[in-house]
């Protein structure tokens, strides 16, 4: 990646005590209005500078702006704030830089499929560099909500269903955005969102109520946020949702007891868009004034876009309902971030200090991320990679094969569709003169039910040696407020697959989507399946290279793919239940092909019409190489509470080509004071092996890795027996066991 030039910036106070003295001194100079102004985050004018905005800046009534990406305007905003206001306090400038800026990387869920923290950190670093050149110093990312309901549109933004994986990748994103030193050009403040439990919205409907038992909240939804906090994330954003009766923006248990008390967090907390005002809409408060009180009292420092703080905090402070000490603590949290960013020493943006957007190194990183994000889910009879010398004609069918905008995905405010490189020309380029590539769109959009293009698609398939179908979801079908009740392929896409499959020609299905889709009805009609998510700017060449074997797939699912929508929620780390399902737990009813004879299965936990297994499990993904696992062992049969243990296995590439494999460690705590999941991810490593190469991969565990919140709601590991598995997915069958013993046990 590009090198950021050296600068002569004055370094901010680095000694914590000196920094707090500097903050206290500034607070001592501030009026009540100026303090409350630091808590106001307002939308900018999109390149303009209206008088009301100038006046508010001069009067110290604004501490942060969002959604301004014109660098000259940002610099003018900063100039007014530092040169024309009484105290000269610089601005935070925020933007949703979710998976790239000009150079768009795969959606976060797709990046999570790479299982590559270093690559994800690089993507965040490049996004930060490009955004910083526009004057942005604060991003509203990463989104670390656990996504176990793919109906939820914002599952596209999350890092999957597993708290361990999400935590590792969240920390990597924070490191990428913020770098080693927030004062350096190209480093921007990150914001972990949405605190907390947003991903558990009922029915997968955005903004909806969340009801999360305390154990699940602590053991599943909070760990990725803790990982982000431990990585030094500069800010957190509250969730829109109600959590067990108290909306997150007014939830003192989250914002004060846990975040400030238990985690000792000293960054700042920002509301989501108007979520302070919405406390009254929820019914928690009667009006805006009480909403301001509840949010401030709970621990929300900055209000995004709505003005309840500006309108009502002055009187709440004057009446003593919000103490001066409490207000000062809120303001100090914001000032601390500004000092750490070096804004008091250099608030202005010089784009020359950052590399140009969309430069070759940035595009290459996006290309690598796209390659590693794609998951090969099916490859019957070795159809892939396609043999360029063995094909004379190739049919490329579908609305997503050559749509530069749609492959970018959701949350790409600043992405450049004109820079997006699609699959169709990339396939033609790699096929060269060895195969003729024809294309028909067949459907105008993924939502279209017009079948008038089917006849042309079928005719093209009939005269071709193989077919590549590019189907899935347009970008608009996922993201905020874009939830779906039925997550099958929309429109007439299933009928298109059936029509093409009737030709008998081999089919490769490439799915571009913002969520896991339920593909039970079509997966049996195709011979190969590549899940490409929304792969970003360089998605097309990445997919083409995978199709023709220039690269080998290495992605693994960060979420479970259900068979049908009705299985949701379905995730690998479920509880055992008192009547666990068995492989025979299936009865054919209708509409779904039977996978077992109709038998009496007894009383177990399953769906009569879908069984209990997913279509594809968490952690699953194929390669053009083949990997074999063996010789699993532990460094000791007993691990003491104050000791450690290493669990290892041998991984062998049994194929004749090089490949990458994500080696995964899962454990099960067999008996606990509260019931435990059947498996939990506890480690992973991505390894590259040459043909015939064998490597031992080991994972070290200490007691804290096995800790959970038990019946007494205290975090700790409980002695007892554990099972452990190492393999290529959450369904790994290579198993060992060990005993966690009290520290004094010999």
C-alpha span between 516 and 557 (Å, rounded): 9
Lowest mean per-residue pLDDT among 288-302, 458-472, 551-565, 607-621:
607-621
Q: Does domain 627-741 have CATH number 2.60.40.10?
A: yes
- What is the reported pLDDT for 745? 47
**Could you tell me the sign of the dihedral formed by the alpha carbons of 242, 244, 249, 250, in that order?**
positive
Mean predicted lDDT score pLDDT of the chain: 94
C-alpha span between 139 and 188 (Å, rounded): 7
Q: Which two tokens stand for residue 536?
A: 């970003």
Please state the φ and ψ torsions of residue 62, each to the nearest 5 degrees.
Answer: -135, 130
SS3 320: coil
- What is the reported pLDDT for 11? 43
The DSSP 8-state label assigned to residue 297 in this structure reads H
DSSP state string for 93-126: EEE--SSBSSSBPPPHHHHHTT--HHHHHHHHHH
The 3-class SS string of 683-719 reads EEEEEEECCCCEEEEEEEEEHHHHCEECCCCCEECCC
> Hunting for tokens 């903004």 — which residue is that?
207
At residue 468, does pLDDT exceed 90?
A: yes
- What is the reported pLDDT for 2? 36
C-alpha span between 182 and 232 (Å, rounded): 11
DSSP state string for 422-442: -HHHHHHHHHTTSSEEEEE--
pLDDT in tens, 375-433: 999 999 999 999 877 889 999 999 999 999 999 999 999 999 999 999 999 999 999 98
At residue 463, does pLDDT exceed 70?
A: yes
Angle at 260 between CA 180 and CA 13, to 5 degrees: 40
Pairing state between β 708-709 and 715-716? antiparallel
- What is the reported pLDDT for 348? 98
The mean pLDDT value for 63-84 works out to 97
At residue 94, does pLDDT exceed 80?
A: yes
The mean pLDDT value for 698-712 works out to 97
C-alpha span between 240 and 256 (Å, rounded): 17
C-alpha span between 730 and 394 (Å, rounded): 36
Contact (CB, 8 A) for 300 and 269: yes
Catalytic residues: 272
Sequence-separated (6 or more) residues with CB below 8 Å from residue 600: none
Q: Which two tokens stand for residue 324?
A: 């001066």
CA 490 to mean position of chain CA atoms: 23
Q: How confident is the model at residue 181 (pLDDT cuts 50, 70, 90)?
A: very high
At residue 533, does pLDDT exceed 70?
A: yes
- What is the reported pLDDT for 587? 57
Long-range contacts of 313-317 (CB under 8 A, 24+ apart): 313/36, 313/39, 314/32, 314/33, 314/36, 315/289, 316/289, 316/292, 317/32
The mean pLDDT value for 469-479 works out to 98
Contact (CB, 8 A) for 156 and 478: yes
Rg (CA), the chain: 27
Tell me the angle at which helices 324-340 and 16-29 cross, rounded to the nearest 10 degrees. Answer: 120
- What is the reported pLDDT for 746? 45
pLDDT in tens, 639-686: 999 999 999 999 999 999 999 999 999 999 999 999 999 999 999 999
Q: Does domain 95-351 have CATH number 3.20.20.300?
A: yes
C-alpha span between 241 and 145 (Å, rounded): 12
- What is the reported pLDDT for 1? 35
Q: Which two tokens stand for residue 107?
A: 């959606």
C-alpha span between 332 and 63 (Å, rounded): 12
Pairing state between β 680-689 and 659-669? antiparallel
Contact (CB, 8 A) for 95 and 140: yes
At residue 600, does pLDDT exceed 70?
A: no
- What is the reported pLDDT for 5? 33
Nearest to 112 by CA among 64, 44, 173, 197: 173
Contact (CB, 8 A) for 301 and 268: yes
- What is the reported pLDDT for 169? 98
DSSP state string for 568-630: -S--TT-B--SS---TT-----SSS--SS------S-S-BTTTBSS-SB-TT--B-SS-EEEE
- What is the reported pLDDT for 606? 85
SS3 529: strand
C-alpha span between 605 and 586 (Å, rounded): 11
Q: Give the Cβ contact number of residue 83 at 10 Å.
A: 10
pLDDT in tens, 111-159: 999 999 999 999 999 999 999 999 999 999 999 999 999 999 999 999 9
Pairing state between β 528-531 and 507-512? parallel
At residue 592, does pLDDT exceed 60?
A: no
**Could you tell me the sign of the dihedral formed by the alpha carbons of 671, 672, 674, 678, in that order?**
negative
Contact (CB, 8 A) for 630 and 524: no
Sequence-separated (6 or more) residues with CB below 8 Å from residue 17: none
pLDDT in tens, 329-376: 999 999 999 999 999 999 999 999 999 999 999 999 999 999 999 999
CATH class assigned to 363-547: alpha beta
336, HSE (Cβ side, Cα atoms, 13 Å): 24
- What is the reported pLDDT for 601? 53
At residue 599, does pLDDT exceed 60?
A: no
Which residues make beta-bridge pairs with 698? 648
Q: Which two tokens stand for residue 393?
A: 């004609």
Contact (CB, 8 A) for 416 and 358: yes
- What is the reported pLDDT for 597? 47
At residue 520, does pLDDT exceed 50?
A: yes
Contact (CB, 8 A) for 142 and 405: no
SS3 186: coil
Give the C-alpha distances (Å, rounded to integers) separating 470 from 66, 446, 474: 36, 10, 11
Nearest to 724 by CA among 674, 675, 683: 683
Q: Which two tokens stand for residue 420?
A: 């997006």
DSSP state string for 220-239: IISHHHHHHHHTT-SEEEE-
Contact (CB, 8 A) for 223 and 262: no
Nearest to 255 by CA among 199, 194, 166: 194
Q: What percent of the chain has pLDDT over 90?
A: 91
The mean pLDDT value for 286-315 works out to 98
Q: How confident is the model at residue 8 (pLDDT cuts 50, 70, 90)?
A: very low
C-alpha span between 334 and 490 (Å, rounded): 45
C-alpha span between 412 and 474 (Å, rounded): 13
Q: Give the Cβ contact number of residue 205 at 10 Å.
A: 16
Q: Which residue has the higher pLDDT, 249 or 50?
A: 249
Sequence-separated (6 or more) residues with CB below 8 Å from residue 625: 552, 653, 655, 657, 658, 659, 660, 661, 689, 691
C-alpha span between 305 and 270 (Å, rounded): 11
Taking the domains of the chain in order of start, what are their residue ranges? 95-351, 363-547, 573-613, 627-741
Q: Which two tokens stand for residue 361?
A: 């190194």
């Amino acid at each position: 990646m590009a090198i950021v030039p050296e600068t002569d910036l004055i370094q901010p106070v680095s000694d914590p005590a000196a920094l707090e003295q500097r903050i206290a001194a500034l607070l001592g100079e501030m009026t009540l209005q100026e303090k409350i102004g630091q808590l106001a985050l307002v939308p900018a004018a999109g390149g303009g500078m209206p008088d009301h905005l100038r006046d508010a800046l001069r009067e110290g009534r604004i501490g942060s702006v969002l959604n301004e990406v014109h660098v000259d305007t940002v610099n003018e905003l900063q100039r007014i704030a530092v040169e024309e206001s009484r105290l000269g306090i610089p601005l935070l400038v925020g933007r949703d830089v979710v998976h790239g800026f000009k150079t768009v990387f795969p959606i976060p869920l797709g990046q999570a499929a790479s299982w590559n923290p270093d690559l994800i950190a690089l993507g965040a670093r490049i996004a930060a560099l490009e955004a910083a050149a526009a004057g942005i110093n604060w991003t509203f990312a990463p989104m670390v909500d656990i996504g176990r309901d793919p109906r939820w549109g914002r599952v596209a933004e999350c890092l999957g269903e597993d708290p361990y994986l999400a935590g590792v990748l969240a920390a990597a994103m924070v490191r990428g955005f913020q770098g080693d030193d927030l004062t350096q050009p190209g480093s921007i403040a990150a914001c972990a969102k949405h605190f907390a439990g947003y991903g558990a919205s009922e029915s997968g409907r955005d903004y909806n109520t969340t009801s999360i038992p305390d154990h699940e909240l602590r053991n599943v939804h909070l760990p990725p946020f803790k990982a982000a906090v431990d990585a030094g994330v500069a800010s957190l954003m509250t969730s829109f949702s109600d959590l067990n009766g108290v909306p997150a923006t007014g939830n003192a248990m989250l914002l004060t007891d846990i975040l400030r008390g238990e985690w000792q967090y000293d960054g700042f907390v920002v509301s989501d868009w108007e979520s302070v005002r919405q406390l009254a809409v929820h019914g928690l408060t009667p009006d805006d004034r009480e909403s301001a009180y509840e949010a401030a009292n709970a621990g929300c420092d900055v209000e995004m876009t709505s003005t309840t703080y500006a309108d009502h905090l002055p009187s709440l402070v004057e009446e003593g309902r919000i103490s001066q000490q409490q207000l000062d603590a809120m303001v100090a949290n914001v000032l601390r971030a500004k000092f750490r960013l070096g804004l008091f020493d250099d608030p202005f943006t010089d784009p020359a200090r950052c590399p140009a957007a969309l430069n070759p190194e940035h595009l290459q990183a996006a290309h690598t991320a796209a390659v590693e994000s794609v998951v090969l889910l099916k490859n019957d009879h070795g159809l892939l990679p396609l043999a360029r010398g063995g094909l004379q004609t190739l049919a490329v069918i579908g609305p997503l094969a050559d749509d530069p905008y749609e492959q970018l995905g959701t949350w790409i405010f600043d992405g450049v569709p004109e820079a997006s490189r699609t699959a169709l020309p990339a396939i033609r380029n790699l096929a060269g003169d060895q195969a003729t590539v024809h294309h028909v769109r067949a459907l105008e959009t993924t939502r279209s039910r017009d079948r008038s293009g089917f006849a042309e698609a079928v005719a093209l398939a009939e005269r071709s040696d193989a077919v590549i179908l590019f189907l899935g979801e347009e970008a608009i079908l996922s993201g905020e407020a874009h939830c779906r009740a039925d997550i099958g392929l929309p429109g007439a896409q299933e009928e298109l697959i059936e029509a093409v499959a009737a030709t008998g020609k081999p089919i490769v299905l490439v799915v571009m989507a913002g969520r896991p889709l339920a593909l039970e009805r079509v997966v049996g009609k195709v011979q190969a399946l590549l899940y490409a998510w929304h792969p970003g700017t360089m998605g097309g060449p990445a997919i083409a290279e995978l199709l023709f074997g220039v690269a080998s797939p290495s992605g693994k699912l960060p979420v479970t793919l259900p068979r049908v929508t009705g299985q949701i929620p379905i995730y690998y780390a479920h509880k055992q239940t008192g009547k666990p399902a068995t492989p025979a737990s299936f009865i054919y009813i209708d509409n779904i092909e039977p996978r077992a004879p109709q038998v009496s299965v007894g009383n177990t936990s399953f769906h009569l019409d879908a069984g209990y297994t997913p279509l594809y499990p968490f952690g699953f993904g194929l390669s053009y190489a083949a990997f074999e696992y063996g010789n699993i062992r532990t460094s000791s049969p007993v691990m003491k509470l104050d000791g450690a243990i290493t669990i290892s296995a041998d991984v062998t590439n049994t194929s004749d080509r090089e490949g990458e494999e994500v080696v995964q460690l899962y454990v099960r705590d067999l008996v606990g004071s509260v019931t435990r999941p059947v498996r939990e991810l506890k480690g992973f490593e991505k390894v590259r092996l040459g043909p015939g190469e064998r490597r031992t991969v080991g994972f070290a565990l200490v007691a804290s890795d096995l800790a959970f919140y038990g019946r007494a709601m205290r975090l700790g590991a409980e002695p007892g027996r554990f099972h452990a598995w190492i393999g290529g997915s959450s369904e790994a069958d290579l198993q060992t066991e060990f005993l966690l013993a009290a520290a004094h046990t010999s």
